[in-house]
């Protein structure tokens, strides 16, 4: 089988992280490639007819600024579930219903049943999913034996996408950080955003939530500003911005900080 060409980056685009997974534990030559650059997430999945015949690849991308959530875990492929179910049903029909006409059909039926069962088994996937603000998901599939590899990749990707995401042009001085290449933006305005809610109270209160994400929560979720104000990881620039809102709940949360 010929190798797929390397992922092509745009002029000036820099690769920050890359990893390959083998979603098929038997056909390990099928590789899922995940690349994170300073601009976007790229996921390339192998295409295969009936799960075993190579047929090129499918490449999807999403700008980093559009990624709202990263999940590492398990999922189910609806396509493989449907194909596997159809295969098993057709195989049973050939084996039982058509055996009287030709013994060869029974053999073909058993092969189709085996292929359908294989697709049903591989429909349960492990990997990393990137959810964007519009609700779409890019999923980089891996095999069940690569769970530790997936978790390590998730930690690295989280650091790139959230802790080092692109600054918002707000004109407000950013908070000082340890790494001088990292710029954490302050919210752009005190007015509530019309964007759909994509943050939770658990994120707003979690001290491990990246400071850039806390800034986004404060900007887009007015109901969670007091929770952000009480978060130990809330940086000085964001605290000053929250103080200037004149919100009584926020002021109480700020006064209660140790």
DSSP 144-180: GGGHHHHHHHHHHHHIIIIITPPPP--SSPPBP-SST
The residues with which 185 forms a beta bridge, in sequence order, are: none
d(CA 26, CA 48): 13
Longest Cα–Cα distance in the chain? 84
- Encode the chain (258 residues) as per-residue pLDDT tens digits: 344 567 778 888 888 888 888 776 666 677 888 888 888 888 887 776 765 666 777 788 888 878 878 877 666 677 778 888 888 888 888 787 666 667 777 788 888 888 888 777 767 677 888 888 777 788 888 877 788 888 888 877 777 776 544 443 343 334 444 443 444 444 555 444 444 456 888 888 988 888 778 888 888 888 898 999 999 888 887 888 888 888 889 999 998 886
The CATH code for residues 15-72+127-163 is: 2.30.29
- Beta-bridged to residue 175, according to DSSP, are 184
Residue length of the chain: 258
Closest CA to 72 of 161, 151, 138: 151
Nearest 5°: phi and psi at 213? -70, -40
- 164/155 Cα distance (integer angstroms): 13
- What pLDDT does residue 24 have? 66
C-alpha 100/C-alpha 164 separation (Å) is 66
Contacts of residue 185, defined as CB under 8 A and 6 or more positions apart, other chains included, come to: 167, 168, 170, 172, 174, 212, 215
**Cα gap 175→171, rounded to integer Å:** 12
Model-level pTM greater than 0.75? no
pLDDT of amino acid 2: 40
Q: Nearest Cα to 60, choosing from 146, 12, 128, 151? A: 128
């Amino acid at each position: 089988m010929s190798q797929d060409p390397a992922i092509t980056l745009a002029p000036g685009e820099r690769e920050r992280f890359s990893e390959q997974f083998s979603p098929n534990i038997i056909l390990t030559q099928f590789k899922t490639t995940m690349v994170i650059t300073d601009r976007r997430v790229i996921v390339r999945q192998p295409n295969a007819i009936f799960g075993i015949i190579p047929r090129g690849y499918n490449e999807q991308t999403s700008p980093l600024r559009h990624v709202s959530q990263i999940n590492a875990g398990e999922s189910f492929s609806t396509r493989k579930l449907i194909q596997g179910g159809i295969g098993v049903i057709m195989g049973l029909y050939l084996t039982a219903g058509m055996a009287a006409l030709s013994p060869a059909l029974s053999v073909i039926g058993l092969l189709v049943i085996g292929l359908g069962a294989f697709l049903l088994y591989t429909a349960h996937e492990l990997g990393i999913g990137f959810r964007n603000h519009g609700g779409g998901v890019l999923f980089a599939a891996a095999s069940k034996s690569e769970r530790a590899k997936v978790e390590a990749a998730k930690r690295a990707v989280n650091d790139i996408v959230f802790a080092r995401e692109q600054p918002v042009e707000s004109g407000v001085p950013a908070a000082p950080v340890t790494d001088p290449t990292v710029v954490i933006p302050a919210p752009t305005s005190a007015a509530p955003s019309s964007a759909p809610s994509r943050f939770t109270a658990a994120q707003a209160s979690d001290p491990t939530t990246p400071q850039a994400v806390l800034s986004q929560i404060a900007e887009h979720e007015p109901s969670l500003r007091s929770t952000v104000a009480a978060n130990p990881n809330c940086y000085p620039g964001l605290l000053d911005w929250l103080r200037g809102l004149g919100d009584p709940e926020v002021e109480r949360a700020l006064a209660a900080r140790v």
